[in-house]
């Protein structure tokens, strides 16, 4: 049994390990770029692809989209766009100055702009090629819960809207300000509330402030032999508060659970004061629990300030694996059977053929005679000797975590199922590459946008019985919508299974098309994406698995809730925030009073 007193680990300052990009995803020092000879490379040194030349990517994109993509033909962004002048509320500003010093306030245009958008393609298109009609009028950085509580009360008194800001990584337009809001809007940036307040090594819990980035939580806990286990694709830039507010899920949820399984309690500031508990048990039955309202609240009813979470010992073993399969249907059947057997790997992800091709296109150039011979031999073995078809094959990537016995048992089951479904074990190197590449390819969307390709991802959850049919129907719907609009070339639409449950899976889709010559391409993309979402719902999928509703999916809410369900949500929000101080306006709940 672990023992010892509570302690406070050291946490880095929010951006001490690198400044974030202002006009797109990720770190400012990282991204994809075109070399002098027209190939692609990744800048910086943070990722396995960094510094590598990727000669196959542009030709592959051209082939898939049916367009000759010229690497030197760019749609040059004009970031930053013009930012509207801030709305002033002098009485509130006077009260604010008594709460938070001027050194932790800003009305700088670019600072306000960044707090007024997330990372949908619509957001990035708007800041690069369009405009955003409404952004916060002031940004503040509180350091204590007392400051936030006083700030909320001042907003109530002086009729000001406030919107919490964590990492700004959302893909739901949750941060977009209501264009009709006439009140002053204040963005409450939690970046200075980023500490781990305590770690309890005996009870395996930690209290962490809401503004802490996932990458910093992971590093600080690991130094003391623990992990929180929550690792979403956005872990580098998303925060604990954002995970709770969106009801998030991570890549290793099979072992550690989703965010609602990991969080033991939440502290938040509402218009009535601090929402907190005086003790937290392993499990309780205490009637209606206010804590539960905060999961998925998306800034509508409170500012989340901290949470008590479960932590886990760093596993003895962490290893990777991969399995090559003849087609997506075999992969789905294998993963379902793996789920039924229990004790599954920490992460199990199945990519379809198109995404498998994409991963191959991201491989650096093969150098050296022996390396080239090995590459050709491997291709011969796979396609000729084992009969894999390049336009059908897919891959399963796995992460094992646990003690030696657990990992051995998990790997043994995977190998047996691979044999049953005529799969070919592709090794740890390919599994690790597939898992870690997730963080680098997040930069691809913003890179291709400059080269006349618009792209985005969206997700759903779906019962096992509907997985293959849903994926097929959504792909066909996208192709039909693309053709109906006479858009150039062909669309890129692909999917992967990312999380497993006894009852079904999470499916991620990726959609892209060439937009040169297309009028209002961001709007056209949104139309096609919404058509795909319509098909998801018709095929038995959920509105969202972990991205949340925000504003981008609010038009579909009446298709997942009965009228009474929607009324209940509206009544709860109205009761908790009768003057609509929390101005995020998500879930279709309008907050403006103008």
Cα 44 from Cα 235, distance rounded (Å): 19
DSSP string, 526-538: HHHHHHHHHHHHH
- β-bridge pairing 226-227 and 312-313: antiparallel
Asked if 165 is an active-site residue, the reply is no
**Coil vs helix vs strand at 392:** coil
Cβ atoms within 10 A of the Cβ of 307, count? 25
Q: Tell me which residue of 348, 361, 350 sits closest to 328, measured CA to CA.
A: 350
- Token representation of residue 185: 């809007």
* 267-284 burial code (b ≥16 CB/10 A, e <16): bbbbbeeebebeeeeeee
- Using DSSP, state whether 68 is helix, strand or coil: coil
Residue pair 315/300 in contact (Cβ under 8 Å)? The answer is no
User: φ, ψ for residue 514 (rounded to 5)?
Assistant: -80, 130
What distance in Å separates the CA atoms of residue 40 and residue 53, rounded to the nearest whole number?
A: 6
Catalytic residue among 165, 388, 421, 508: 508
Two tokens at 237?
């830039």
With a CB cutoff of 8 Å and minimum separation 6, the contacts of 544 are 172, 459, 460, 553
Give the Cα separation of 582 and 163 in Å (integer): 6
Where in the sequence numbering do the catalytic residues fall?
A: 508
């Amino acid at each position: 049994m672990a023992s010892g007193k509570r302690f406070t680990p050291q946490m880095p300052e929010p951006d001490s390990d690198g400044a974030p990009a202002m006009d797109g995803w990720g770190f400012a020092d990282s991204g994809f770029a075109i070399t002098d000879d027209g190939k692609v490379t990744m800048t910086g040194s943070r990722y396995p692809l960094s510094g590598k030349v990727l000669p196959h990517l542009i030709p592959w994109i051209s082939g898939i989209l049916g367009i000759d993509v010229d690497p030197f033909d760019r749609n040059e962004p004009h970031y930053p766009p013009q930012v509207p002048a801030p709305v002033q509320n002098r009485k509130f500003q006077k009260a604010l100055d008594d709460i938070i010093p001027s050194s932790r306030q800003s009305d700088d245009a670019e600072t306000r702009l960044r707090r007024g958008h997330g990372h949908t393609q619509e957001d990035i298109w708007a800041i690069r090629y369009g405009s955003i009609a409404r952004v916060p009028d002031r940004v503040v950085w509180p350091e204590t819960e007392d400051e936030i509580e006083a700030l909320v009360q001042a907003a109530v008194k002086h009729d000001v809207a406030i919107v919490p800001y964590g990492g700004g990584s959302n893909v739901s337009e949750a941060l977009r300000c209501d264009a009709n809001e006439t009140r002053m809007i204040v963005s409450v940036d939690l970046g200075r509330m980023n500490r781990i307040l305590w770690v309890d090594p005996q009870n395996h819990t930690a209290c962490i402030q809401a503004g802490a980035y996932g990458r910093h939580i992971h590093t600080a806990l690991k130094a003391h032999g623990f992990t929180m286990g929550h690792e979403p694709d956005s872990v580098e830039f998303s925060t604990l508060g954002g995970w709770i507010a969106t009801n998030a899920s991570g890549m290793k949820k099979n072992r550690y659970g989703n965010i609602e399984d990991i969080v033991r309690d939440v502290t938040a500031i509402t218009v009535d004061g601090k929402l907190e508990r005086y003790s937290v048990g392993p499990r309780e039955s205490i009637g209606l629990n206010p804590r539960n309202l905060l999961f998925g609240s998306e800034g509508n009813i409170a500012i989340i300030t901290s949470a008590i979470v479960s932590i886990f010992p760093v596993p003895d073993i962490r290893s990777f694996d991969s399995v090559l399969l003849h087609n997506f249907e075999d992969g789905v059947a294998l993963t379902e059977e793996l789920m039924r057997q229990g004790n599954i790997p920490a992460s199990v992800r199945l990519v379809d053929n198109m995404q498998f091709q994409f991963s191959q296109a991201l491989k650096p150039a093969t150098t050296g005679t022996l390396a080239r011979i090995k590459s050709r031999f491997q291709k011969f073995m796979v396609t000729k000797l084992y009969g894999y078809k390049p336009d059908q094959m897919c891959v399963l990537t796995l992460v094992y975590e646990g003690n030696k016995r657990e990992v051995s048992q998990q790997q043994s089951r995977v190998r047996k199922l691979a044999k049953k479904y005529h799969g070919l074990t592709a090794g740890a190197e390919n599994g690790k590459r597939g898992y870690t590449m997730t963080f680098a390819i997040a930069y691809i969307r913003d890179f291709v946008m400059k080269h006349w390709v618009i792209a985005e991802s969206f997700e759903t959850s779906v019962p096992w019985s509907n997985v293959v049919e849903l994926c097929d129907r959504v792909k066909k719907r996208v192709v039909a919508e693309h053709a109906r609009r006479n858009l150039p070339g062909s669309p890129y639409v692909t999917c992967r299974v990312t999380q497993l449950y006894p009852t079904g899976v999470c499916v991620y889709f990726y959609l892209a098309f060439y937009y040169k010559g297309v009028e209002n391409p961001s709007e056209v993309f949104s139309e096609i994406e919404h058509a795909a979402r319509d098909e998801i719902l018709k095929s038995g999928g959920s509105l969202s698995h972990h991205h949340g509703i925000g504003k981008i999916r609010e038009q579909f809410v009446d298709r997942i809730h009965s009228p009474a369900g929607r009324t209940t949500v509206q009544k709860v929000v109205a009761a908790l925030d009768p003057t609509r101080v929390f101005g995020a306006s998500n879930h279709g709940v309008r907050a403006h009073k103008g």
